[in-house]
Structure 1
Amino acid sequence: MDSTRPRARWKSMIIGNGFVRKDGRKGIRNRVVVANLVKCSSHIAHEIAKDAGDDVHEISFNGCYPNEHANRMMRQLCTHPNVGGVIIVSLGCESFPRDSLYAAVKSSGRPVEMIVVQESGGTASSVAKGRAALSAMLEEIRQTPRAPMHLDELVVGTVCGGSDATSGVTANPAVGLFFDRFIAEGGTGVFEETGELIGCEETMRQRSVTPALGEAVVESVHKAARYYTIMGHGSFAPGNAEGGLTTQEEKSMGAYAKSGSCAISGIIKPGQIPAGKGLYLLDVVPDGEPRFGFPNLNDVTEILEMAACGCHLMLYTTGRGSVAGSAIIPTIKVCANPLTYRNLSNDMDVDAGRVLEGRGTLQEVGNEIFERVVAVAGGKPSKPEALGHREFDLPYKYFDVDEDTCANQCACS
């Protein structure tokens, strides 16, 4: 495959009518986010958001002492292309810079309201004020203009969770085949889990579009290895072993398969938006010495980091079975194990495990994933979305990130 930046060879297909944001981006959903800024006001935020319908989602940062990573993530999530409006809920004395979050949302052209509980008369009055603002906002965003959205405007991310011995031979390589086709047609893809790519760094170096990018990719994996060595454990859970995986290297090879074979165009960190089209590696392991424990406490964290990088939707591969979804972006479940699929069929979108039973080929599954992505981007709910999954977890982390979200290492210039 040509290692130059991939370009569509024909006019990109229309996948539906996107929601046009004033910052120029298009979304595939039109959500209102209730953004809670500290655990102490979570009950009030929940009361505002509950019973408001599928287009209202509560997100939150539970901590009180400051963390720039959390600030960056909340700014990016509240101005995500799938988000049409934001209700900010603040207790009033937490360290989160609520005024800057409000200003960021306001400057993006989205409607935004802020409830400060200590200034709003307490629980009952804050809930009443929030519900009234939410009702008005839902009515306002119904007027969001629509315009045709093309495939090459779509950003798709991928992670794996609950991996087993089938993940690396069915679901993950099928997603890789999807990305090869998607990137060739002008799309933008993001894969991650540098802690689960240990041993694959030299192969990724060879796929990088420039030598400098190759060095950065290798260093990101070495950083992950150093981090896990200091912590005394890696990204290999007992459930992985119970599912038949034997080593970290075996798990890494399976995780790597999700990236396909096309050129790697750049490397980004959580909250950075890809600066151009192509395939990007998301480095989720914090910079510096370990400060806050394990890099990703659960798979939900990985999903929201993809959302904060501007992904419109997620491909989530699983062998053991995962039911988690997203509060911001639709999550498409690609099930690697045929036994798991039969047990959890109501939660799974794609049966990749049929390859093991001779009921299909990897290419057929890759094509099905492509068709499912187009359908979900066009408005069809994914299984977790239809079931109402809205898990959210934003931990403390540290990254050395340029505040210009396009200042990532890539071959854009």
Structure 2
Amino acid sequence: MSALMTGWLRNDGRKGIRNTVLVAYLVECAHHVSKKIAREFPETDVQVIGFSGCFPSPYGQDMMEALCTHPNVGAVQLVSLGCENFRKADLVRAIEASGRTVNLITIQQTGGTRSAVDAGRAWVRDTLAALAQIPRVPMEPSELVIGTICGGSDATSGLTGNPAAGRAFDRLVTEGATCIFEETGELIGCEHVMAARASTPALRNELIATVKKAEQYYAAMGYGSFSQGNATGGLSTIEEKSLGAYAKSGDSEICGILRPAERATTGGLYLLDVVPDGAPKFGFPNINDTAEIIELISCGAHAVIFVTGRGSVVGSAISPVLKVCANPDTYARMSEDMDVNAGRILTGDATLSEVGDEIYNKLVALGTGEMTASEDLGHTEFVLTYKNPTQAEPGCQTAT
């Protein structure tokens, strides 16, 4: 199957399994114009992302630079109002340095809404034609970067979908791929179990400290990563939810910790730390599943495995979201939104390894042109909010 994978080669040597044109707004005031531009191309891979804030944000800047130079992105149309604080010149330079085509429209200089929309549509139309001429090159599973999250979790998530995703991760890591799991707020209670898999003593200590930081952050906010829906679905405590969420990391050695917009330097298994350092400043670290998905994608994830027990319909801009349904009853109701029925494990119709292999094979198939259910349904959700700038822990980005 690996010989069938192909991708678009980028200047930095990475390969994309999609060749998306992004229309990216740099302040909320430019959001409407961006949507109007993209709506002209309903049957093409033109997607809208953006940062809504006007106040300066190092995190927002880093995220937008990482997303606009993601391997799945072929070109970028930037839309600025003109008076926002976003460092748009720096973003243009980052995109140009990556070898991608970029165009900047400033609404205040272009003449207003209609003029900006017309100019943006003309550029996107020409760019799509040019991207269609770019050939694909062979790609191997070892070149993949895959993230995983769980959302809409219930009592079945930790029994079927999450451990099956972990089996897929183990296979990918064995083949040299990069796998990223999160979120530290949903690992509370099993940090010592996780730390035992660290590649170095220093990393072991940092893994424990990272989860403790999340626990303290949520305590300060007065609310943790445990929802009413989780309880209705049969989960009793954050510790029970954490054990289920932890299962999606698999059994491989953990070789590093990443922060949003940071890329791994080698293949292997990484924890994504989404909780800012210090006291809470901008609220909860991730306000919904989409924000978590985007942070995984900012680290270069070609695709994201999304395990759900109660049922989630979200996808994402930039990278495909592969939906793994943990609950057989949920799958029966919502099969049109799901890619894998991990509930078959509960009914005795499949083993963990069989479902893990199915997840792996579907991920590889994304590199042959196949689409996920969320892609086919048109889901391109995107959320990017303010967050404290964070710095990577020394020595913990890789195993060295």
Q: TM-score range by the shorter chain?
A: over 0.9
Matched, 1:290 2:280: yes
* Cα distance between partner residues in 1 of 2:164 and 2:229: 22
* Cα distance between partner residues in 2 of 1:118 and 1:153: 42
Cα offset, 1:407, TM superposition:
7.8
Q: Which moved more, 1:26-35 or 1:351-360?
A: 351-360
Q: Are the counterparts in 1 of residues 274 and 285 from structure 2 also a CA contact under 8 Å?
A: yes
- Three-state SS of the structure 2 residue aligned to 1:345 is helix
Matched, 1:185 2:175: yes
Matched, 1:99 2:94: no
Alignment of 1:51-130 (within 5 A): 51-52=40-41, 53-130=43-120
Cα offset, 1:139, TM superposition:
1.3
* Cα distance between partner residues in 1 of 2:246 and 2:266: 22
Matched, 1:409 2:399: no
Q: Which moved more, 1:377-386 or 1:142-151?
A: 142-151
Tell me what 1:7 maps to: none
Alignment of 1:125-164 (within 5 A): 125-164=115-154
- Three-state SS of the structure 2 residue aligned to 1:157 is strand
Cα offset, 1:130, TM superposition:
0.5
Cα offset, 1:400, TM superposition:
2.1
* Cα distance between partner residues in 2 of 1:20 and 1:394: 27
Matched, 1:14 2:3: yes
Tell me what 1:320 maps to: 310
Q: Are the counterparts in 2 of residues 33 and 87 from structure 1 also a CA contact under 8 Å?
A: yes
Matched, 1:208 2:207: no
* Cα distance between partner residues in 2 of 1:344 and 1:99: 44
* Cα distance between partner residues in 2 of 1:331 and 1:203: 28
Tell me what 1:44 maps to: 33
Opposite residue 108 of structure 1, the aligned amino acid is: S
Q: Are the counterparts in 2 of residues 338 and 352 from structure 1 also a CA contact under 8 Å?
A: yes
1:68-106 CA-partner distances (Å, limit 9, x unpaired) = 111100000000000000000000011111111111001
Q: Are the counterparts in 2 of residues 54 and 388 from structure 1 also a CA contact under 8 Å?
A: no
Question: Which stretches of structure 1, 4 residues or more, deviate above 4 A after TM superposition?
Answer: none
* Cα distance between partner residues in 2 of 1:146 and 1:86: 19
**Aligned partner of 1:395 among 362, 385, 392:** 385
- Three-state SS of the structure 1 residue aligned to 2:257 is strand
Cα offset, 1:306, TM superposition:
0.7
Cα offset, 1:145, TM superposition:
3.6
Tell me what 2:224 maps to: 234
**Aligned partner of 1:370 among 356, 360, 367:** 360
Cα offset, 1:411, TM superposition:
3.8
Matched, 1:307 2:294: no
Aligned residue-pair number: 399
What's the RMSD between the two structures over aligned residues? 1.4
**Aligned partner of 1:173 among 129, 152, 163:** 163
Tell me what 1:248 maps to: 238
Q: Are the counterparts in 2 of residues 274 and 408 from structure 1 also a CA contact under 8 Å?
A: no
Opposite residue 187 of structure 1, the aligned amino acid is: A
- Three-state SS of the structure 1 residue aligned to 2:148 is strand
* Cα distance between partner residues in 2 of 1:115 and 1:338: 48
Cα offset, 1:14, TM superposition:
3.0
* Cα distance between partner residues in 2 of 1:37 and 1:186: 36
Q: Are the counterparts in 2 of residues 27 and 81 from structure 1 also a CA contact under 8 Å?
A: yes
1:35-57 CA-partner distances (Å, limit 9, x unpaired) = 00111111111111113133100
1:196-225 CA-partner distances (Å, limit 9, x unpaired) = 001111112110000111111111101000
Opposite residue 75 of structure 1, the aligned amino acid is: E
* Cα distance between partner residues in 1 of 2:286 and 2:44: 27
Q: Are the counterparts in 1 of residues 165 and 250 from structure 2 also a CA contact under 8 Å?
A: yes
Cα offset, 1:159, TM superposition:
0.3
1:386-411 CA-partner distances (Å, limit 9, x unpaired) = 11101001010013226xxx987244
* Cα distance between partner residues in 2 of 1:35 and 1:181: 35
Q: Are the counterparts in 1 of residues 155 and 309 from structure 2 also a CA contact under 8 Å?
A: yes
Sequence identity of aligned pairs in percent?
A: 53
Tell me what 1:25 maps to: 14
Cα offset, 1:363, TM superposition:
1.3
- Three-state SS of the structure 2 residue aligned to 1:346 is helix
**Aligned partner of 2:270 among 280, 293, 299:** 280
* Cα distance between partner residues in 2 of 1:129 and 1:30: 21
Tell me what 1:356 maps to: 346
Cα offset, 1:15, TM superposition:
4.5
Unaligned 5+ segments in structure 2 are none
Q: Are the counterparts in 1 of residues 328 and 342 from structure 2 also a CA contact under 8 Å?
A: yes
1:268-324 CA-partner distances (Å, limit 9, x unpaired) = 000000111100000011111101111111000011101100000010000010010
* Cα distance between partner residues in 1 of 2:382 and 2:66: 14
* Cα distance between partner residues in 1 of 2:277 and 2:124: 38
Opposite residue 118 of structure 2, the aligned amino acid is: A
* Cα distance between partner residues in 1 of 2:263 and 2:328: 35
* Cα distance between partner residues in 1 of 2:136 and 2:351: 37
